[in-house]
Amino acid sequence: MAEAKNLAAAKPARLTGVKGMNDVLPPDSARWEWLEAKVRDLMARYAYRNIRTPIVEPTALFVRGLGEVTDIVEKEMYSFEDRLNGEQLTLRPECTAGVVRAVAEHNLLYEGGKRLYYMGPMFRHERPQRGRYRQFHQIGAEVLGFAGAEVDAELILLADALWRELGLSDVRLELNSLGQPPERQAHRAALITHFERHADQLDEDARRRLHSNPLRILDTKNPAMKEIVESAPRLLDFLGEASLAHFNAVKAILEANGVAYRINPRLVRGMDYYNLTVFEFVTESLGAQGTICGGGRYDYLIEQVGGKPAPAVGWALGVERVLELVKEQGEAVAEPVPDAYAVIPDASALPLAMQLLQQLRAAGVSVQMHAGSGEGMGSMKSQFKKADASGARHALVFGADELASQCVTVKALRDGSGAQQTRPLAGVSEWAHSLQSKA
């Protein structure tokens, strides 16, 4: 008795996942696969190529690229020291900087501009909430080496096409231009003067940013500061002729393609690397976390990370948020089901049955095999129950009579007829297609 108690006491505690870092389980994973397939197809139509960068990057990449006084660098990054060599490393909080680092490191622009896209997990230490997690996933598109406004517009058109592919309607485009550095400097000085006049109304975060990054004050979520932010100088009023021409060219292409937009002069985005066009796709369906996709032009980032100067523009969407929206207003996504379920009454039939199943799978048929519990294969009745629960359109019955005749019985499970027919074990390729689900 004491020995049993000691064994119970020695049982290890159950481990759980890290808060804000979630498992994606079936059937929800089917929706993720569906979205990824839609993205891959659409990116191919726009001639974008896939790039995959490491999850861990040098911390300096994000400090230099995103800006030292951004919320991400100051508060949210998972950074640590490599115990082997003392290198400062960070789990990527976004992927643009990593893509730019890879492009510069491998000299990808040597033969001309590149259109790239990525998918993967990002990490930010923030309070988990609906559609916003500590490990979250992004899909992004980046175009590097092209300075024209038509590329900004192409990326926006690409995102707009994706919403249609996903069946989403409650998504609107907000647009702004941040101009070029000299224009932002003039605007910055005007902003500082404006906010200094209202210093008593600034919250602690705004006072901290007043002289380091006043543009980010415009992105405050504090309702008490709404009035002074609304009355602040607008960057659009500081744009020169070239910046306005670029912005107007983007708008003209969007209008020609029937893409509605709203100019939001307070739209600044969260990273320091943007210039000229910035944009967000937002929805009212997800509460406070309304932005599902955002991006813009970042012509100086490649040089900031040590590469040869080159223009660039891109966007990233939050996968979790987009999938939340798909649940609410997009098309239904069914969990994949097998074409056939193999019913095997006796374990002695397994070698021959599994040989046929392998041939069917090689021919493109999805087959789920019944597996016993270690004490036998189970009754025919229980196996047919599992066949029905699997969603398969057919049951493949490997009974003694069938195997003696070198055939398998194919039973319909979904059309209500329960029709049966025998198929030869030889020549599988001639009848395998009849098992496949209709698209």
Q: Does residue 110 sit within a domain?
A: yes
Residues 33, 128 within the same domain? yes
DSSP result, 157-213: HHHHHHHHHHT--S-EEEEEE---HHHHHHHHHHHHHHHHHTGGG--HHHHHHTTT-
- The Cα–Cα gap between 266 and 28 comes to 36
> Closest by alpha carbon to 149, among 256, 2, 304?
256
> Closest by alpha carbon to 141, among 120, 158, 153, 124?
158
Domain boundary among 329, 362, 383: 329
**Model confidence at 354: pLDDT above 50:** yes
Residues 300, 413 within the same domain? no
Q: What is the mean pLDDT of residues 226-248?
A: 92
At 137-150, the pLDDT tens digits run 999 999 999 999 99
**Structural Rg of the chain based on CA atoms:** 29
Residues 272, 383 within the same domain? no
Q: How many domains does the chain have?
A: 2
Q: Does residue 247 sit within a domain?
A: yes
Domain boundary among 329, 353, 386: 329
Q: Does residue 228 sit within a domain?
A: no
Q: Domain range for residue 169?
A: 28-179+239-329
Query: The domain spanning residue 396 has which CATH number?
Result: 3.40.50.800
Domain boundary among 329, 354, 384: 329
Query: The domain spanning residue 260 has which CATH number?
Result: 3.30.930.10
Instruction: Return the percentage of the chain with pLDDT > 70, whole number.
Output: 93
Which pLDDT score is estimated for 373?
63
**Model confidence at 7: pLDDT above 80:** no
Q: Which two tokens stand for residue 191?
A: 């902003």
Residues 152, 70 within the same domain? yes
**Model confidence at 439: pLDDT above 50:** no
